[in-house]
């Protein structure tokens, strides 16, 4: 698609959804128009991420994309924490982690695998991603395993310890992966960039588009969440299913399109960085931050997830580790992730 045409469509669909949101009361129309706007905004985001990745490398580009994508989710979650809707916060954290690890990663690997027989990325990075995902699972699992032994007060303190430890670990990981061991984790240790095409925009323009498009995606996402809840009510869907699946799929649209774009350009390392990096950021940074933020609103949120949520996160992490560990992907591994997503989704739907 030519840039000019894309700009025009993005502007038109954003205006259309704005009109539907403020001047109509049909949740069906609102749902349709905001979905449309998000899809094209996500397309714009994908292109901007590609350009940033051209200048900054796949991994930093992927990190920026994941961060911008999660900023939106963090803002929405803060509003939910303020309202005391802790169960919905945890359901959306769960949904975001498994959505990124299974759906976003699964579709990227599948789409990339249809075009390329085998796609490779740095196995050292795969190993570290696996260990960090495992840390996230362990950190959520331990509080649940000790829940019956701890008083409410101790659990709140313990939640702060867990949250604090995860945030420290995440920042040390950034230092490790971006500074001390940047080269070792790089996808392209030799610096071969010759075959790449000319980027669409300059560095500054691309970052600006990234920021602006992310802001719009955040706004539209919130609108969509509102309209979709009414749609869901009309269709008889459970709150857990809406929180963990519908909201998460829409909320991750940006990561989604950017990751698939990268995979189709044979940059599966960048797609990994977006999907897995986004999951890790949710588990090790966004979730723990919300525990601390809840303190400011006077109602401490603990880090206790339900057994069903832990099972969902646990199996998602194990299958994602299993298929990514060797640093190679193919279409069938995308299918495997997708099947697990389908099974968890169906289970949540029936609950």
Q: Contact with a copy of itself (CB under 8 A): which of 26, 79, 154, 296?
A: 154
Contact 284, 132 (CB under 8 A): yes
User: What minimum distance in Å lies between the beta carbon of 145 and a copy of itself?
Assistant: 4
Task: State both tokens at 343.
Answer: 């099974």
3-class secondary-structure state, position 119:
strand
Q: Does 235 bind a copy of itself (CB under 8 A)?
A: no
Q: Does 178 bind a copy of itself (CB under 8 A)?
A: no
Q: Does 117 bind a copy of itself (CB under 8 A)?
A: yes
Task: State both tokens at 13.
Answer: 């669909």
Q: Contact with a copy of itself (CB under 8 A): which of 32, 116, 141, 237?
A: 141
Task: Give DSSP secondary structure letters for 127-171.
Answer: HHHHHHHHHHHHHHHHHHHHGGGS-HHHHHHHHHHHHHHHHHHHH
Q: Does 149 bind a copy of itself (CB under 8 A)?
A: yes
Q: Does 340 bind a copy of itself (CB under 8 A)?
A: yes
Scanning the structure block, which residue is given the tokens 């990075």?
A: 125
- Report how far apart, in Å, the C-alpha atoms of 235 and of each of 21, 81, 225, 238, 281 are: 20, 27, 15, 9, 32
Which residue, 8 or 131, is less far from a copy of itself as judged by CB?
131
User: What minimum distance in Å lies between the beta carbon of 19 and a copy of itself?
Assistant: 39
Q: Contact with a copy of itself (CB under 8 A): which of 7, 15, 184, 205?
A: 184
Which residue, 127 or 199, is less far from a copy of itself as judged by CB?
127
Q: Does 286 bind a copy of itself (CB under 8 A)?
A: no
Q: What is the Cα–Cα distance from 226 to 220, expressed in whole angstroms?
A: 10
3-class secondary-structure state, position 349:
helix
* Interface segment toward a copy of itself; rule CB under 8 A; list 87-95, 217-225, 241-249, 328-336: 328-336
3-class secondary-structure state, position 329:
strand
Pairing state between β 328-329 and 119-120: antiparallel
Which residues, other chains included, contact 281 with Cβ-Cβ below 8 Å and sequence gap of 6+? Answer: 66, 67, 70, 170
* Interface segment toward a copy of itself; rule CB under 8 A; list 4-12, 67-75, 139-147, 199-207: 139-147
Which residue, 32 or 116, is less far from a copy of itself as judged by CB?
116
Q: Contact with a copy of itself (CB under 8 A): which of 143, 251, 287, 288?
A: 143
User: What minimum distance in Å lies between the beta carbon of 311 and a copy of itself?
Assistant: 4
Task: Give DSSP secondary structure letters for 304-315.
Answer: PPPHHHHHHHHH
Q: Contact with a copy of itself (CB under 8 A): which of 84, 127, 199, 300?
A: 127
Q: Does 212 bind a copy of itself (CB under 8 A)?
A: no
Q: Does 332 bind a copy of itself (CB under 8 A)?
A: yes
Q: Does 131 bind a copy of itself (CB under 8 A)?
A: yes
User: What minimum distance in Å lies between the beta carbon of 227 and a copy of itself?
Assistant: 28
Q: Does 237 bind a copy of itself (CB under 8 A)?
A: no
Q: Where are the alpha helices (DSSP H) in the chain?
A: 3-23, 27-56, 58-82, 86-98, 105-115, 123-146, 152-175, 182-185, 203-235, 239-241, 247-251, 253-264, 268-281, 287-296, 307-324, 331-350
Scanning the structure block, which residue is given the tokens 């982690």?
A: 97
Which residue, 138 or 208, is less far from a copy of itself as judged by CB?
138
Residues that bind a copy of itself (CB under 8 A): 117-118, 123-124, 127-128, 130-132, 134-135, 138-139, 141-143, 145-146, 149-150, 154, 157-158, 161-162, 165-166, 168-169, 172-173, 176, 180-181, 184, 307-308, 311, 315, 318-319, 321-323, 325-326, 328, 330-333, 335-336, 339-340, 342-344, 346-347, 350-351
């Amino acid at each position: 698609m030519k840039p000019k045409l894309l700009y025009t469509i993005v502007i038109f669909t954003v205006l259309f959804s704005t009109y539907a949101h403020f001047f109509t009361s049909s949740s069906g129309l609102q749902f349709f128009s905001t979905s449309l706007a998000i899809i094209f905004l996500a397309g714009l985001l994908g292109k901007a991420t590609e350009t940033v990745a051209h200048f900054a490398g796949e991994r930093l580009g992927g990190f920026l994309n994941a961060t911008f994508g999660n900023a939106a989710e963090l803002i929405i979650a803060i509003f939910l924490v303020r309202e005391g809707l802790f169960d919905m916060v945890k359901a959306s954290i769960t949904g975001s982690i498994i959505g990124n690890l299974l759906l976003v990663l699964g579709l990227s690997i599948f789409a990339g695998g249809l075009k390329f027989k085998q796609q490779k990325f740095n196995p050292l990075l795969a190993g570290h991603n696996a260990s960090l995902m495992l840390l996230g699972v362990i950190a959520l699992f331990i509080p649940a395993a000790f829940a019956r032994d701890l008083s409410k007060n101790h659990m709140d303190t313990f939640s702060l310890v867990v949250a604090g430890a995860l945030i420290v670990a995440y920042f040390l990981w950034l230092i490790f992966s971006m500074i001390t061991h940047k080269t070792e984790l790089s996808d392209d240790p030799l610096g071969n960039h010759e075959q790449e095409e000319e980027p669409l925009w300059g560095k500054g323009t691309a970052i600006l588009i990234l920021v602006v498009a992310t802001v719009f995606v955040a706004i539209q996402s919130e609108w969509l969440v509102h309209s979709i809840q009414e749609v869901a009510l009309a269709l008889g869907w459970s709150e857990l299913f809406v929180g963990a699946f519908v909201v998460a799929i829409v909320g991750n649209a940006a990561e989604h399109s950017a990751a698939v774009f990268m995979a189709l350009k044979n940059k599966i390392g960048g797609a990994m960085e977006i999907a897995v990096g986004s999951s890790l950021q949710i588990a090790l940074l966004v979730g723990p931050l919300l525990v601390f933020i809840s303190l400011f609103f006077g109602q401490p949120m603990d880090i206790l997830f339900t057994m069903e949520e832990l099972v969902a996160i646990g199996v998602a992490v194990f299958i994602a580790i299993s298929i990514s560990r060797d640093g190679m992907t193919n279409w069938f591994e995308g299918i495997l992730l997708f099947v697990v997503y389908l099974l968890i989704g169906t289970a949540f739907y029936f609950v």
